């Protein structure tokens, strides 16, 4: 950024950098960059606007090599590459975010929180693509997915959350899905979801933060699942067959 210079550099294991730099307006902007093993830059971009906005930590998804980036922002909105992140706090304070960025620097998916961005947001990911986010918050009502944490005293409190694999990096799109002898339709779904499987298969429907909304066992080839009780939006269908083979699908509930 013009007139800026790098400070307080954080270096990750897979040749990514993410932290913050002074902005021309006197506050801080975040940045992220990818380098080759020999230190040659591949791509980079900064993000932020007129308030204090910054990046905290990076991790690498072992399933696809994507970058996980955490940060915080106090501006009304920030733009990371070509994606806008809107601050959910009406006072525009302390918003935190988690973004998954592909190897070309494009934002695949994101989660934005109404707090937790003022201090370090740690992130990790397991071999199945589930993400773990930890940090602290001071807002009176901190919301993650369908969970609300009350904090009437206003002092900083610690939190940790498990988040389901990013919908943009798993099987599925906004259409019917057929993969590994499994068919899932219709998608988007309104009331009933049909799942065709070969052999006994367990299933779970999860929220985007990994909360189990529904589960059961699929016994026949054609299974009709009642999903009317599930709230509208994106959810995750996870199936596991008798061999332990697991598939994950993005489902859009309307």
Query: For residue range 18-39, what is the model confidence (pLDDT) as tens digits?
Result: 444 444 544 788 888 887 777 7
**What is the model's pLDDT at position 192?**
95
**What is the model's pLDDT at position 130?**
86
Indicate whether 225 pLDDT > 90: yes
- In sequence order, what are the beta bridge partners of 223? 195
**Within 13 A of 171's CA, how many CA atoms are on the CB side?**
16
Residue with tokens 């006072």: 91
Quote the CA–CA distance of 5 and 134 in Å, as a whole number: 28
- Decide: 52 and 59 in contact? Cβ < 8 Å: no
Higher pLDDT, 220 or 79: 79
Confidence of residue 224 (pLDDT cuts 50, 70, 90): very high
Return the closest-CA partner of residue 203 out of 220, 215, 187, 221: 215
- In sequence order, what are the beta bridge partners of 63? none
Domain boundaries along the sequence of the chain? 16-166, 177-253
**What is the model's pLDDT at position 6?**
31
- Residue 20: Cβ-neighbour burial (10 angstroms; 0-12, 13-18, 19+): buried
List for the chain the helix, strand, coil content (%; round to 5).
0, 55, 45
Task: Name the token pair of 126.
Answer: 């397991």
**What is the model's pLDDT at position 8?**
33
Chain centroid to CA 232 = 18
Most confident of 56-70, 98-112, 137-151, 222-236: 222-236
What mean pLDDT is reported for the chain?
A: 77
pLDDT tens figures, 2-19: 222 233 333 333 444 444
Quote the CA–CA distance of 241 and 254 in Å, as a whole number: 27
pLDDT tens figures, 162-182: 888 865 444 333 334 444 578
Cβ partners under 8 Å of residue 27, min gap 6: 48, 50, 51, 52, 53
Confidence of residue 112 (pLDDT cuts 50, 70, 90): confident
**What is the model's pLDDT at position 12?**
37
Task: Name the token pair of 156.
Answer: 């900083």
**What is the model's pLDDT at position 92?**
55
The percent of residues in the chain predicted with pLDDT above 90, rounded, is: 9
According to CATH, what is the number of the domain 177-253?
A: 2.60.40.3080
Indicate whether 90 pLDDT > 90: no
- Decide: 68 and 62 in contact? Cβ < 8 Å: no
Strand, coil or helix: 169: helix
Confidence of residue 91 (pLDDT cuts 50, 70, 90): low
Of the ranges 3-7, 41-45, 90-94, 204-208, which one carries the lowest mean pLDDT score? 3-7
How many helices (H) and strands (E) the chain has is answered by 0, 22
Give the Cα-Cα-Cα angle 148, 125, 229 (nearest 5 degrees).
45
């Amino acid at each position: 950024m013009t007139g800026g210079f790098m400070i307080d550099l954080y270096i990750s294991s897979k040749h990514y950098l993410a932290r913050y730099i002074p902005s021309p307006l006197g506050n801080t902007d975040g940045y992220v960059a990818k380098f080759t093993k020999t230190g040659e830059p591949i791509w980079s971009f900064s993000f932020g606007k007129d308030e204090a906005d910054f990046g905290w930590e990076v991790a690498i998804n072992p399933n696809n090599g994507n970058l996980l980036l955490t940060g915080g922002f106090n501006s009304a909105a920030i733009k990371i590459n070509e994606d806008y992140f809107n601050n959910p706090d009406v006072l525009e304070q302390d918003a935190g975010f988690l973004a998954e960025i592909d190897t070309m620097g494009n934002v695949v998916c994101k989660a934005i929180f109404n707090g937790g961005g003022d201090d370090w947001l740690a992130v990790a990911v397991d071999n199945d693509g589930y993400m773990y986010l930890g940090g602290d918050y001071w807002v009176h009502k901190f919301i993650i997915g369908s969970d609300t944490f009350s904090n009437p005293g206003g002092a900083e409190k610690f939190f940790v959350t498990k988040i389901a694999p990013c919908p943009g990096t798993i099987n599925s799109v906004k259409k019917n899905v057929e993969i590994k002898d499994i068919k899932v339709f219709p998608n988007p779904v309104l009331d009933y979801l049909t799942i065709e499987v070969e052999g006994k298969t367990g299933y779970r429907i999860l929220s985007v933060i990994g909360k189990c909304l529904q589960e059961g066992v699929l016994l026949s080839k054609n299974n009709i699942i009642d999903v009317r009780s599930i709230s509208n939006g994106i959810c995750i269908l996870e199936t596991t067959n008798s061999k332990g083979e697991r598939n994950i699908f993005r489902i859009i509930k309307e």
